[in-house]
Amino acid sequence: MSTNNGKTETVVMIPLDKISNFPNHPFKVENNAELQEMIESISNGGVKQPVIVRQKEDGDYEMISGHRRKLASQIAGLTEIPAIVRELTRDEATILMVDSNIQREKILPSEKAFAYKLKMEALKHQGQRNDLTLRQVGTRSRTDEKIAENSEDSARQIQRYIRLTELIKDLLDLVDIGKIAFSPAVELSYLQEDEQYVLLDCINKYDSTPSQAQAIHLKKLSQEGSLTADKISEIMEEEKANQKPKYEIHYDRFKDYVPNNVATPREMEDFLFECVKEHHTRKLQRQRAMER
């Protein structure tokens, strides 16, 4: 038995092959270390928390919450899983599916992006107004504000996440692995699809991703209709401050070879510079002597 908002719910055993995954499920279910721990736990003690499903018209079931438990159970060799069957509309199921997963400790930007988008569409279907820029007179809030009520993200941040769904998959993958930062990624989402593919080629060619300033520049040119392949390449060839090589001198390595009056890092740097300068001068003198 289980409870939901004070209502008692019955837990039943359902064959795993009778439960299909939620359509367009935005959360990745991968066989990683976390899943391996779940497999071991299920192998030793079974599934302790029932999954939540809804019944389909054909009599089978659709997973709402519990995709990882389902996969772990299959790998562990189970044939059925404890489940709670709820009568939910498609929109209600979508909202519950998102809310059940969005609070995970580890969640990728792409997962949040598509989850927020699905929930926003479901709320709109339920009667929430679909205008994201103007308020309606009365008490009804904007859809993004409604989502923000149960989220750690603000309405504005939710809109920014949803923008990421406009990125081509390869660029979004770079956001997920942290190669493209979130803010530049939002700006890049305004580029046309063909422009994004050109940008991807430049990223691979120069092994460099756009900075925030470059992303804003690319977006501006795209919206003006003047963003060409050559212009994208030109922008991506620009050297960014954080990509300039940095050199660190370990002064302790030189302390036995410098005069006692050289004490501070700046004095050490000046001393080393003079040594290199003298070495270069002597090298030129030797080359000239050999040429005579």
Say what the pLDDT of residue 5 is. Answer: 59
* Predicted model pTM: 0.73
Scan for tokens 């598509």, then name that residue.
Answer: 114
Nearest-angstrom CA–CA distance, 23 and 25: 5
In three-state form (DSSP H/G/I as H, E/B as E, the rest C), the secondary structure along the chain is CEEECCEEECEEEEEHHHEECCCCCCCCCCCCHHHHHHHHHHHHHCCCCCEEEEECCCCCEEEEECHHHHHHHHHCCCCEEEEEECCCCHHHHHHHHHHHHCCCCCCCHHHHHHHHHHHHHHHHHCCCCCCCCCCCCCCCCCHHHHHHCCCCCCHHHHHHHHHHHHCCHHHHHHHHCCCCCHHHHHHHCCCCHHHHHHHHHHHHHHCCCCCHHHHHHHHHHHHHCCCCHHHHHHHHCCCCHHHCCCCCCCHHHHHHHCCCCCCCHHHHHHHHHHHHHHHHHHHHHHHHHHHC
CA atoms within 13 A on the CB side of 107: 19
Two tokens, residue 268: 């050490």
pLDDT per residue, tens digit, the chain (292 aa), is: 556 655 668 999 999 999 999 999 999 888 888 899 999 999 999 999 999 999 999 999 999 999 999 999 999 999 999 999 999 999 999 999 999 988 877 899 999 999 999 999 999 888 744 444 444 444 345 888 988 888 889 999 999 999 999 999 999 999 999 999 999 999 999 999 999 999 999 999 999 999 999 999 999 999 999 999 999 999 998 866 555 445 566 666 776 777 877 767 777 777 788 888 888 888 888 877 777 6
Question: What residues does each domain of the chain span?
Answer: 2-87, 107-166, 168-246, 251-291
What was the pLDDT predicted at 3? 60
CATH architecture of 2-87: Alpha-Beta Complex (3.90)
Res 130: pLDDT: 45
pLDDT value for 138 = 41
- The pLDDT assigned to 253 comes to 72
Q: Are 104 and 94 in contact (CB under 8 A)?
A: no
Q: Tokens at residue 272, please?
A: 């080393």
What span, in angstroms and rounded, lies between the C-alpha atoms of 219 and 162?
17
Beta-strand pair 80-85/11-15: antiparallel
